[in-house]
Structure 1
Amino acid sequence: MKIKDIRASVHTTSIDVPLLAGKVRGYGREEQKEFVFCEVETDEGLTGVALTGHFLARSVVAALKHHFLPVVADMDPREVEAVHERVWRKLNPRAMTGVVSSALSVLDIALWDINGKHAGRSVASLLGGARTELPTYVTFGFPQYDRETLAAAARLQLEHGFRAMKLVVGVDKGGWREDAARVRVVRETVGDDVDIMIDANYLFTPADAKFLCRAIEDYGITWFEEPLHQNDARAMADLRAHTRIPIAAGQMEGHRWRLRELVERQAVDILQPNACYCGGFTEARKAAHLAQIYNLPVAHGGGWPLFNMHTLAGLMNGWILEWHVGMVQVGELLFPDAPHPVDGRIAIPDLPGLGLAVNRDALRETLVPEH
């Protein structure tokens, strides 16, 4: 079996944010307006699909068409290590990230989808089959909410069966004090038996992150995700040493060496490789094995749960899956038969590959024309 073609395109859509009037362009944060859909075809007719996010989406498509395809054409899609080795040698010998990592991610995910279809097994099974279902948490706490609406949104997610939820911090005009007040509102709303995570998306200085941690330590926070600018491993290690709140990071890192830095610097309690950004399942598996050596769990952040659930279900130290209100709507649009959490848990499809059937009409409707 040989790789015959790589097709990639840029798409955009709008989402409904619960309790907000009107649709929001994109799927969450302001810059999240576009995503990349990729499909890899083999000479035997098997195809695999994948998504990656909004970072320089048009450049990712160009890289796949003009650089990746000539390098991997006619390779065996089952030999994922050989594919990675050739991509690194031909396209990325200096271990850069960004566009090249996003392009490698969708190529690799599509190859695992093909391999699962060829073997008649799910990707989670090919990765190790550690479990058949996962706990989930909902990312619901958008910055557009005021405190009252934030509380109402938290109650809504409780009604949907979630017992773990995450809200965004680091973007409010009121600074860390307003973030602390919003965390307090959510804790008072959901009670003590619900996990609360917070995510700063790299946006705090070390000082402000410490101020926030001190203000909310008694609220039983499950983790503080990517608190500091640039995912500065040195500074996060210092923050971790000065707070009781566990630190999580890694979802936007582009390869295993950056993830290794977080682990070896003792900067994290929870590692978060995201297959849609770090180099696909092949690289995420290596990151998870690294974390396991250090007795660290692997949790999901950064969205695209319909792909990343296979990593967490397949590997021994996989933990909890993010159900991002915005990105989930993209998944529901493109893959309408995909699974959903029930009472906070999601079953992994017992289907070959990713177990996702593509809505071709939705692909056409969301397509961004090439300029």
Structure 2
Amino acid sequence: MRIIDIREVTRPIASPIRNAYIDFSKMTTSLVAVVTDVIRDGRRVVGYGFNSNGRYGQGGLIRERFRDRILEAAPESLLNDAGDNLDPHRVWAAMMGNEKPGGHGERSVAVGTIDMAVWDAVAKIEEKPLFRHLADLHRRSADPRVFVYAAGGYYYPGKDNGALRAEMRSYLDRGYTVVKMKIGGAPLDEDRARIEAVLDEIGSEGRLAVDANGRFDLETGIAYAKMLRDYRIFWYEEIGDPLDYALQAAMSEFYDAPMATGENLFSHQDARNLLRYGGMRPDRDFLQFDCALSYGLVEYLRTLDVLRQFGWSPTRCIPHGGHQMSLNIAAGLGLGGNESYPDLFQPYGGFPDGVAVEDGHITMPDLPGIGFEGKRDLAQEMRALAE
């Protein structure tokens, strides 16, 4: 049993949308196939992975560093003790050989992309869904029912508040009970009008979260907090720079309602510093670490260990990214849910075909691996890379 090839292609996921910080007109993602020599149901087992939106494709790092370290490793060194499957932790260690600590920027995305594909292959070799494989590994019961919320509300050329209301209404009509919109890309009074338009549209049928994408300094963050106090907001997300823990801690003095952050922290060390110094409150706030951007599930397991050390429940984790890998982690390890992009970043976002949102939740299908093959448009792209 061995990995015989790792293939990468950079794909566009561009869209003429923007948040408070960046536009997505040139956004890309890396699609990776980890090809093994294992045969299941007459086909070679191939694991697939890709990185989340907001960080660009990592083809250079994958091809120049991390791919070759795996392929040059002794095949038996990448297997579990029984020798009957790949060991993601050993594959991860091979990728990270000769890498200095710190500097968690782009390499964490490259490693996380390959790590996703490795876990997909592992579960396919086991012939079970990844979420059930994870639950079995950690001696817990899997819960296939996962909370999901609809992320959108981007700034878009010509998009008025009527179009914003229609977008949010469409999410409620599809079964979501929590929707999210961007703020900070317009003056405060304009954003207030946008928020009020959405709240008027959704009424008591749903809850609204808002996301500043790290745009604000402390003064602006406080000004928005004072405005948001007038409304029943699900959470106030990523107020300032993700590494400005002092700003985040200060915000807890001005805003009692739930806050969320973490999608741009890429290691368990960064997560630990957030909990040490960021003033986050385990009884109400949410953590959005995304395994696809932060060295993969192997590192995410270390992050969950850090949370436990600080008295946090994994149910306070609702990852960024809207991908099926985090859905499997949520179902297998008991996270609080997952982000969803109903209309954006296709075909990489969304759920397997036929999976519907009901009362803000989806039910995981029993598909081998992460379940990518259950989404026809995504499976076509993946198989084109592997075959």
TM-score range, shorter chain: 0.7 to 0.9
Structure 2: 5+ residue runs without aligned partners?
Answer: 39-43, 80-84, 136-140
Select which of 254, 265, 279 maps to 2:266: 254
Counterpart of 1:72?
Answer: 70
Task: Tell me if structure 2 keeps the 8 A contact 1:304–1:328.
Answer: no
- 2:239 pairs with 1:239: no
User: CA 1:288/1:178 → structure 2, altered by over 3 Å: closer, same or farther?
Assistant: farther
User: What amino acid is aligned across from residue 161 of structure 2 in structure 1?
Assistant: R
1:277 aligned counterpart, secondary structure: coil
- 2:111 pairs with 1:104: yes
Alpha-carbon offset, residue 55 of structure 1: 6.2
Once residues 126 and 95 of structure 1 are traced to their aligned partners in structure 2, the CA distance between those partners, rounded to angstroms, is 31
Alpha-carbon offset, residue 182 of structure 1: 1.8
Counterpart of 1:270?
Answer: 286
Select which of 318, 329, 336 maps to 2:346: 329
Cα RMSD (Å) of the superposition? 2.9
Q: Deviations over 1:70-122 (max 9, x none)?
A: 212233362222222333332x2222222211111011111111110111221
The percentage of counterpart residues that share the same residue type is: 22
1:78 aligned counterpart, secondary structure: coil
Counterpart of 2:41?
Answer: none
Counterpart of 1:354?
Answer: 370
Once residues 35 and 80 of structure 1 are traced to their aligned partners in structure 2, the CA distance between those partners, rounded to angstroms, is 22
Alpha-carbon offset, residue 264 of structure 1: 1.8
User: CA 1:138/1:261 → structure 2, altered by over 3 Å: closer, same or farther?
Assistant: same
1:141 aligned counterpart, secondary structure: coil
Q: Deviations over 1:252-278 (max 9, x none)?
A: 222111111112224332111112101
- 2:24 pairs with 1:30: yes
User: CA 1:360/1:225 → structure 2, altered by over 3 Å: closer, same or farther?
Assistant: closer
User: What amino acid is aligned across from residue 9 of structure 2 in structure 1?
Assistant: S
Counterpart of 2:122?
Answer: 115
Once residues 361 and 126 of structure 1 are traced to their aligned partners in structure 2, the CA distance between those partners, rounded to angstroms, is 21
Select which of 137, 140, 163 maps to 2:149: 137
Show the 5 A alignment for 1:186-205: 186-192=198-204, 194-205=206-217
Counterpart of 1:85?
Answer: 93
Counterpart of 1:52?
Answer: 51
Task: Tell me if structure 1 keeps the 8 A contact 2:319–2:326.
Answer: no
Alpha-carbon offset, residue 281 of structure 1: 1.5
Once residues 360 and 203 of structure 1 are traced to their aligned partners in structure 2, the CA distance between those partners, rounded to angstroms, is 32
Counterpart of 1:19?
Answer: none
User: CA 1:53/1:156 → structure 2, altered by over 3 Å: closer, same or farther?
Assistant: closer
Counterpart of 2:329?
Answer: 311
Once residues 55 and 196 of structure 2 are traced to their aligned partners in structure 1, the CA distance between those partners, rounded to angstroms, is 36
Q: Deviations over 1:274-326 (max 9, x none)?
A: 1210111222222233324422434334323222111111113x112211134
Task: Tell me if structure 1 keeps the 8 A contact 2:324–2:371.
Answer: no
Task: Tell me if structure 1 keeps the 8 A contact 2:13–2:346.
Answer: no
Alpha-carbon offset, residue 14 of structure 1: 5.5
Counterpart of 2:138?
Answer: none
Counterpart of 2:381?
Answer: 363
Once residues 349 and 110 of structure 2 are traced to their aligned partners in structure 1, the CA distance between those partners, rounded to angstroms, is 23
Alpha-carbon offset, residue 12 of structure 1: 1.4
User: CA 1:26/1:239 → structure 2, altered by over 3 Å: closer, same or farther?
Assistant: closer
Once residues 81 and 238 of structure 1 are traced to their aligned partners in structure 2, the CA distance between those partners, rounded to angstroms, is 37
User: CA 1:32/1:308 → structure 2, altered by over 3 Å: closer, same or farther?
Assistant: farther
Most deviating of 38-47 and 206-215: 38-47
Once residues 213 and 40 of structure 1 are traced to their aligned partners in structure 2, the CA distance between those partners, rounded to angstroms, is 45
Most deviating of 214-223 and 144-153: 144-153
User: What amino acid is aligned across from residue 352 of structure 1 in structure 2?
Assistant: P
Counterpart of 1:94?
Answer: 101
Structure 1: 5+ residue runs without aligned partners?
Answer: 16-23
2:246 aligned counterpart, secondary structure: helix
Once residues 181 and 276 of structure 2 are traced to their aligned partners in structure 1, the CA distance between those partners, rounded to angstroms, is 28
Once residues 215 and 26 of structure 1 are traced to their aligned partners in structure 2, the CA distance between those partners, rounded to angstroms, is 22
Task: Tell me if structure 2 keeps the 8 A contact 1:11–1:37.
Answer: yes
Task: Tell me if structure 1 keeps the 8 A contact 2:216–2:240.
Answer: yes
User: What amino acid is aligned across from residue 33 of structure 1 in structure 2?
Assistant: M
User: CA 1:299/1:330 → structure 2, altered by over 3 Å: closer, same or farther?
Assistant: farther
Alpha-carbon offset, residue 147 of structure 1: 2.1
TM-score (norm 1): 0.85
Once residues 273 and 27 of structure 2 are traced to their aligned partners in structure 1, the CA distance between those partners, rounded to angstroms, is 30
Once residues 110 and 328 of structure 1 are traced to their aligned partners in structure 2, the CA distance between those partners, rounded to angstroms, is 19
Once residues 152 and 336 of structure 2 are traced to their aligned partners in structure 1, the CA distance between those partners, rounded to angstroms, is 19
Task: Tell me if structure 2 keeps the 8 A contact 1:161–1:342.
Answer: yes
Task: Tell me if structure 1 keeps the 8 A contact 2:235–2:260.
Answer: yes
Q: Deviations over 1:96-153 (max 9, x none)?
A: 2222111110111111111101112211122225311112111121212322222222
User: CA 1:235/1:258 → structure 2, altered by over 3 Å: closer, same or farther?
Assistant: same
- 2:316 pairs with 1:302: no
Task: Tell me if structure 2 keeps the 8 A contact 1:197–1:221.
Answer: yes
